[in-house]
């Protein structure tokens, strides 16, 4: 099993979710994060003073998939979330030792 962590632009979430659903991914966990990277933040002004907001809103998607689905899932996310403009984000793949479905005590790929 692998854990895929994708940092994407927020308005791409729906498309990515649909793309993953299409290839049979049935579960994922999403959170709001702030990203710092090549895409520069924007300048805001408040009461006469400028300041830079370095951290931009991003969405992090985490999903654990069977080894064999990994590449397909990464490809699906890449395709669905690409705009070609700076700040599109990253996908990281991490090894997973084990998984449990709390409701049933199933473990391993059964649990996903």
Partner 1 sequence: MKRLIRYALIGAFALAPFALQVASAADPAAEAASAVTAVIEAAAPAEAPAFTDLEGFAGSPGYATFTANNIWMMLSAGLVFIMHLGFASVESGLTRSKNTVNILFKNTLIPCIGLLTYAICGFNLMYPGGDFAGKWFGFAGFGVSVGADPASQVANLTSAYNAGYTYWTDFLFQGMFAATAATIVSGAVAERVKLGTFLIFSTIFVAVCYPITGMWKWGGGWLQALDTPFYDFAGSTLVHSVGGWGALAGVIVLGPRLGKFVGGRVKPIPGHSMPLAVIGVFLLWLGWFGFNGGSVLSADPALTSLTLMTTCLAAAAGGVGAAVTSWILLKKPDLSMALNGILAGLVGITAGADQMSAMSASLIGLIAGVIVVVSVIFFDKIKIDDPVGAISVHLVCGIWGTLAVGIFGNLAGTAQIISQLKGIVSIGVFTFAFALVLFLVLNAVMGLRVSPEEETEGLDLGEHGMEAYPDFTTVSPH
Residues at the contact surface with ligand ADP, assessed by CB under 6 A:
7, 27-29, 35-39, 56, 58, 62-64, 86-90, 101-103, 112
Cβ nearer to ligand ADP, comparing 79 with 90: 90
Touching a second copy, residues 8-37 (CB under 8 A): 8, 17, 26-37
What b-and-e string marks burial along 26-48, b requiring 16 or more CB atoms within 10 Å of the CB? eebeeeeeebebeeeeeeeeeee
Least CB distance to ligand ADP at residue 3 (A):
8
Q: How far apart are CA 58 and CA 62, in angstroms?
A: 13
């Amino acid at each position: 099993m692998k854990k895929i962590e994708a940092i994407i632009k927020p308005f791409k979430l729906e498309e990515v979710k649909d793309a993953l659903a299409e290839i049979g991914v049935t579960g994922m966990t999403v959170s709001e994060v702030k990203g710092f990277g090549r895409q520069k933040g924007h300048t805001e002004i408040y009461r006469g003073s400028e300041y830079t907001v370095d951290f931009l809103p991003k969405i992090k998607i985490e999903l654990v998939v069977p080894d064999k689905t990994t590449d397909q899932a990464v490809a699906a996310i890449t395709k669905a979330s690409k705009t070609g403009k700076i700040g599109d984000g990253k996908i990281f793949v991490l090894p997973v030792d084990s998984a449990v479905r709390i409701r049933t005590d199933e473990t391993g790929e059964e649990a996903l």
